[in-house]
Structures are given as structure tokens and as C-alpha cells.
A and B are shown apart, each in its own frame.
Chain A
Amino acid sequence: MRRIIAALAGLALLPLSTGYAQTSGDVTNFNLDNGMDVVVIEDHRSPAVVHMVWYRTGAADEPNGKSGIAHFLEHLMFKETETRSSGDFSRIVEENGGDDNAFTSWDYTAYFQRVAADRLALMMELEADRMANLRLNPDEVETERSVILEERAQRTDSNPGALFNEEFRQLAYPSHPYGIPIIGWRTEMETLSREDALAFYETYYAPNNAILVVAGDVTPEEVRTLAQTHYGPLAAAELPARARVEDAALPQDQRFEFADERVAQPYVMRGYRAPERDHGAQEEAAALSLLAEILGGAPSTSVLGRALQFDTQRSVFATAYYSGLSLDDTQFTLINMPSAGVTLAEAEADVDEVIAEFLERGIDPNQFERIKFLYEASDIYARDNASGLARLYGMALTSGLEVEDVQNWPDVIAATTMDDVMDAARALFADAPRVTGHLTQAQAAEN
């Protein structure tokens, strides 16, 4: 019963394969003369290909007061270019039997198509066109703003867990733009203009700010030739430095409560400010990744799950989560969803107690050995999913890592010892600034 409970908590429980990839010779990378990075992942088992373009820009690069503009622009990229009508992009992809979509995060904006391998040139032609030649029709901008407001209503305003997360991030990143929601604050979204979108586009959409990732039934030589033809002629732009506002010294211990009448299952969430994976320096992130698995992996074998769901039945679900793929500081998160009759204050104390005990007792060597083997196996399973690997490289390269960092990650994990993990745990739990939130059920107003 692990998956459904995780879904209930609204958590994205990533499999181990995320952040982990094959080290075989199937990944090739090179640059075009205009500075565009290219990564090719070969998988010749089926005659299909995933074509992705990742921009090193996202919600954390937005100007003040323009929250949501990176994501709004992502929507508008499916409209007109100088030579193509609105909607042509998706229509042509569909007529070629392909699927296309896009997604925006704090550190990246990415566009992709899945299509038969012999259509790769057409995908590049289309993607290169909208990298350089976007045009925005004012009427379409108006309509599309309604769409993103509907999107916010659907994903955030209708979901108390999402609203809780927004408040959490505001406290965790008071100045740093990771505190801004990707979709944007509603009041700012309502004012986003065509000019705002074009300004963001002009600043950040250029080949030297982009990474091309192609995975599937292609060779690096084919990709190089096609990429030179389609992306090669695009001019590089002068890019602003990628420096975000840093948070001043954070309060050590912040707390908040979020009440909503739509909450059915209260829970407590705590985030510790944690370092991310850095180019050439992934050791601490590896230790934290293993720590999250030890504390919060499968409920029946992890420290939190065992203590709170098995040895006692104080919790319905308890877990830990960490992902080091981030340009700036990230979060190490603990969640505890108490059983009926256990208050959130008690649930928080339960987590504190389990962590304190863990710091005293240390790691079960058998568990550590099993987790190391799981990481090794995830290398094999990851090779079954070329799209997943493409996504992994795109995320890594927009988060300040290089291809070699992705390829070294298995070795860094393998070299991490139990002492390394305990050192990282002690540093995290003793020193890292933390934010603790309680999501509770508000009483419905009288009619």
C-alpha cells in the first residue's frame, strides 16, 4: 500500500532511477559553434526518438512582480512565429504521429516531442523556428492568460496541499526566487502582458542558453548534422549572469499553520535547507540522497516508516524526501501524516524522537547494503526508459551540472560510506535552518 498513500499526500515520490543513469558509452555530448549544448542518448530498440530543448531559465529568473512569466511564455510558444500560424506547431507534430508538450520549473523551461525517428529533422526545424522567430498576437495573449489562470485554479487554488506548499516555500526562501510559485501569484498573473513575455523571450531564448537532448534511434553523427543545419544558423545572445538574490541569514526555526476546510488528512511537513549537487562536488548530495532513502524509502524498511507505521501505528504515512537536482540550495523534507487520534503536535514530536534515536543508533548495515544494491539495479532499469534518461540529463544540465557529473553519480553514491551519511545527517538536523508547517482542517463556515 505504498503508492496510493504517497499519492494521497500529494508527493512526487521519485523512483531511485531519477538522479541516476547508465555509465555505458551510449551517451554522447558536444557543442555547436553558437554555444548550444547537445546530448545524444542512443537506444535503438524501437524506431522512435525524443527531441527536447531545455532552456537554462525558469521561474527563478523572473523579474520582480512578474511571477508566472516563464510559464506563461511556455504556453505562448505554441502560438505564431514569423512563418507559422498559431497552433501549427502542435498540428504538424500531431499529423506526424507525434506527441508534444512543455514544462516549466524554477531552473528550466523545456519543450519536447516524441516522434518516429525519421521525423527528427522536422522537429528541429519547428523548434529552431520558435527559438528565434516568435510573434505574439495580442488577442491570443489575452485568451491564453485566462488559460493559465484556469490552470492555477485547477492545480493550486483547488488543492489545499498546493496552497500549503506555496506558503512553505515563501518562508523557506524569503528573498531567493525559489519562494515564488512557478505558476505565479494570481494578482501578478492577471497583469502579465505581451511585452513581459517578449522581454523574457528576448533575454533568455537563444541557442547559447539551450540544451538539445535527443534520445532514441539515432546516432550522434546524425544528430550533429541535423542540429548544425537547423540550430547552427541561430545567433547567440548576450545572456545575463545567472545569479539569484541570496537569502540573508535565515531564522533557524520557522513555523506556520495552514487551515483549509477541504483538508481531509492533516499532516506535518518540515523542510531543512540543504545543499544541492554541484559540478565536481556531489559527495554531500549523495550522502543526503542515501539518508532520504534510509529514513523514508519503503515504509516497511525505512527508519521513519518502521518506527511510526510498524513498531507503533502512530502514523498513516511517514517519509523523507530529497533531490539534489537544483541550481541553488534545495530542501530535505520530512512528512508525517498521523493516525486518527494523534495530534499534529504529537506527530511532530514523534518525528523529532525518531530522528534523535537515529542519530544516536546509526544506520543498520544490512539496510545500507540493500540500498546500495538498489542504486546499482536502478542503473539497469533506467536503460529501459530513454525518455526518462533524456529528462534526467536535461534537468542536470540546467541545474549547473555537466554530463560527466551525471555519469560519475553512480560512483559517488557507491563510494559514500555510512559515516559520510551520518556526518551529513548530523550537520543537517543540527544546523540547517528549518521550516515546519501544519496542514489542518478548518471548520466549514456556517451557511
Chain B
Amino acid sequence: MLIVKHISAALFALVSLATPLRAEIQIQPVLSPNGHSAWLVEDHSIPFVALDIRFEGGTNLDETGKRGATHMMTGLLEEGAGDLTAQGFAEAVQGLAAEFSFSSYRDTVAISARMLTENRDAATALLHEALSNPRFDADAIERVREQIQSILASQAQDPNAIAGQTFNALAFGDHPYASAEEGTADSIASLTRDDLITAHRNALVTSRVSIGASGDITAEELGDLIDRLLEGLPQTGPALPSMAGFSPNTRQAVIDYPSPQSVILFGMEGIAMDDPDFFPAFVLNEIIGGGFRARLMEELRVKRGLTYGVGTSLSTADWQPMWLGQFSSSNATVGQALELVDQILGDVAENGVTDGELLRAKRYMTGAYPLRFDGNGSIAGIMAGMQQSGMPIDYIANRNAFVEAVTSEDIARVAKRFLDVDNMLTVVVGQPEGLNTAP
């Protein structure tokens, strides 16, 4: 596919590949006096620590009829805690120059924090108040409720959000994944303070927490900090959902939207991280839709100018792994672009990939991996995510070997198993032309 006219450049690249970079990350497992575990990368060169705290469960834990409660609850954690109102809390955080962020996702409620060494005790106490003792004041609830209604109104006009929500509704039956985690205008309007208290009680549960820390802190100090942060939170919560399954009863949906360009989302069943074929699938995804030199990008953008960008990714969501792709294209070229996608995926399913593609993907993936560990914040996040996914602590040291071990036979097998174009769901938002609308 790629013609190398100039051998010297290619050779130079080969020579310089002789010494692959290794991720020199020393992770210490930490067990706090109260029995909570965490992973730590200790680095005293900058006087602050980054923390990443993830509670398994997330917006999936919304009770029936209370869609959006976990998302709204998470938004209210920084809106007043203990003796401090929303404004008092914000002033206290600013006064310490600490940074807290509270986010909810389908499978997780995540808190990340940066704390200066000089006032870490006070910052820890504040964050503990937010986690364990949020006020849910009436005025804060109404303020955040209106913000969420505004977000919902905007999403209803946003072609990317419309595409995602349509896809999920068609793909996931009556599983929580099928509906927007922010809730609906009606569900948000009806949420009460008690609903938020329940959502808080259900989501922030210590038996489901994963913690990563990186920066200016010792293992002993981190153990104490974690015990202080988690003190008073319940140990167990309600049952987590079961698998969602992927069972759309249509292959294609078109949502009319007034725009010169359409947003296209496509996807099919993916592969779980503990599946023995995960790494071949991971490498395969890189070759098809990972980077700028991937096949879809080459064929749709570089050769034909049909899109500004197209990419695919393996979604390793807890309750249904998926393989997802997205791009935008002018309405007039949507049909042509989608036909190409089908053709490229079908070709890979039948013929696998070339040795050159496999080699290039491995070089990129193994070379780029160590670059992810480029600061306290990213290291803390990666470690929390690894623990949540049940990865062993030596995963970072071994991960590149897993990538290297993938063979072209593995890729061919996985492509056949997994690139099932006949069971792909495609959602188009726009006013597309040239679509093959056969069922």
C-alpha cells in the first residue's frame, strides 16, 4: 500500500529502532492501616502529589426511574460539604491551590486531585468532606439541575451526541448503557434530594475503589491519606448490572439533521481485556483505524479527501466490549465513504493484514507506550485504571511483550472472528446522499 521510493530514509528508521524505550516506572503497592490498597509512584522532584480515585459502578447504578441521579450527585460533590457552602468550599480549595475534579462515567465515578505538599493535610481534609459529607443544599441542587437541563438541550442539538445516543439506544436493549447517563429532561426534573443521597450512598463504596498516586509522597504518608479520605464511606453497595449484550434489530439508522455534513458512527461487538485474543484485536484496531497511517485514514482521507478524520477504537466498557468507529463526511459523499468502510473491513476479515502493516503497528505501539507516563497526573490515572481493570502490577513491564507476540495468524483469526460487517450497526446524523438503504 505504501510505496517507499527512497530506501535510505527507510533504512535510517530501521537502524534507529535498535534500542526500544522501556517504561521505567517503579510502582509500589501500598496497603493502608485500614486495609485499603493503592499503587504509588514516588517522585519527590516537584512538591505536589496527583491522586486518582475511581469507584466502580458509575451511572449504571442509577435506580429505576432515577436516570441521571449519579451524574447529578457527582456534579454536586463540589457544591458544598460539611460546614462549607458551595462558595465556602470553593474558596477553601482555592486558598490551598488544590485542584479537585469529580466526574461520572458509565462504569465509574472518578475523582482526581492535585495537592501541594505544603498544605496536603488541609487539602485531604477538604476532599474528605466532599466525598463523605456533601451537603446537597437546596439552592445548589436547583442550580445544578438547571445546568444539566441546559446540557441536555444542547445535546439534543448536537449531531455527535445525537449519533451516540441513537447508537446506544439501538444497541443495548434495556441495559443502562442504552440511555444517556445525564438522564432526560423529565427524570432530571423529578430527582429529589433523597435520590441524590441514595446515589451517593450507592456509588462511593470502599470495596469498589481503585487508587493511583504519583508525586511527592511516601508510601506511609499515602496510606494515612487514603484512610483519612475514605473514612466514613460505606463498604458495600448495590449489585452491579449484568452484561448488556449487543443485539440491534436494525443495521442502519439515519437521523435527519440540518447540516452540510453528516456524522457517522459505526460499531460491532468488541472483545474483553481478559480474552486471550485481546492483544491481536488491539493491534488489529491500530492497523485499521488507530492512527494517521491506518487503513481507513489512508483510504478515506489521504487518497480521496472524503473526511477530515476517521478513527476506530476498542471500547472495553465493563458490561459490553465494543469496537467503534466514527467520522464526518459531506452529505454528498456519505454513501461512497460508508461503502469504502464496508469494503475495507470485509477485505481485512477475508485476507488479514500485510506483514508490513503488522510490523509498523507493533513498532508504533511499543514505542509510544512509555510516552504515556509523562507526568504525575497521567501516571496516577493509568495506575487507577489498571487496578480497576484487574491488571497485575507488573503489567506495564510486560505489556510491550504481549504486543510483540502477536502474529499475522493471530490477526487473521481475530479479524475473521470479530470484523463481522453483517452485524455492524451504523448511525448517520445529517442529510446523507447515496446510502444503500437495503435492510
Identify the A interface with B (CB < 8 A).
1-5, 8, 45-48, 83-85, 87-88, 90-92, 94-100, 114-116, 118-119, 121-122, 125, 142-151, 153-155, 157-158, 261-265, 298, 300-301, 306, 309-310, 313, 316-317, 337, 339-340, 366, 370-371, 373-374, 376-378, 380-381, 383-387, 444
Contacts and interface: CB of A to CB of B under 8 A. Distances in A.
Interface string B283-308: 00000000111000000011111111
Nearest to A388: B375
21 contacts: A2-B78, A46-B374, A83-B6, A94-B360, A95-B367, A99-B371, A115-B371, A125-B12, A148-B308, A264-B156, A265-B154, A298-B90, A300-B79, A300-B90, A310-B87, A313-B146, A317-B147, A378-B97, A380-B47, A381-B48, A384-B377
Contacts of B2: 87, 91
A444 B258 contact: yes
Nearest to B258: A261
Nearest to A144: B305
Interface string B367-386: 11111011111000000000
B306 A96 contact: no
B202 interface: no
Contacts of A100: 292
B347 interface: no
A362 to B, nearest CB: 18
A154 B261 contact: yes
A116 B21 contact: yes
Nearest to A47: B21
B193 interface: no
Contacts of B307: 147, 150
Interface residues of B, number: 88
Contacts of B377: 384
B150 A96 contact: no
A379 B336 CA distance: 51
A116 B143 CA distance: 47
Contacts of B366: 97
Interface in B135-182: 139, 142-144, 146-151, 153-159
Contacts of A339: 146
Nearest to A92: B13
Interface string B102-119: 000000000000101000
A419 to B, nearest CB: 22
A313 B147 CA distance: 11
B159 A97 contact: no
Given A97-B368, A158-B259, A300-B87, A122 B329 contact: no
Contact of B330 (A8, A153, A384): A153
User: Shortest 9 CB-CB distances between A and B: which pairs?
Assistant: A97-B367, A146-B305, A377-B97, A300-B90, A153-B261, A116-B21, A151-B308, A264-B157, A1-B75
A116 B116 CA distance: 29
B86 interface: yes
B3 to A, nearest CB: 6
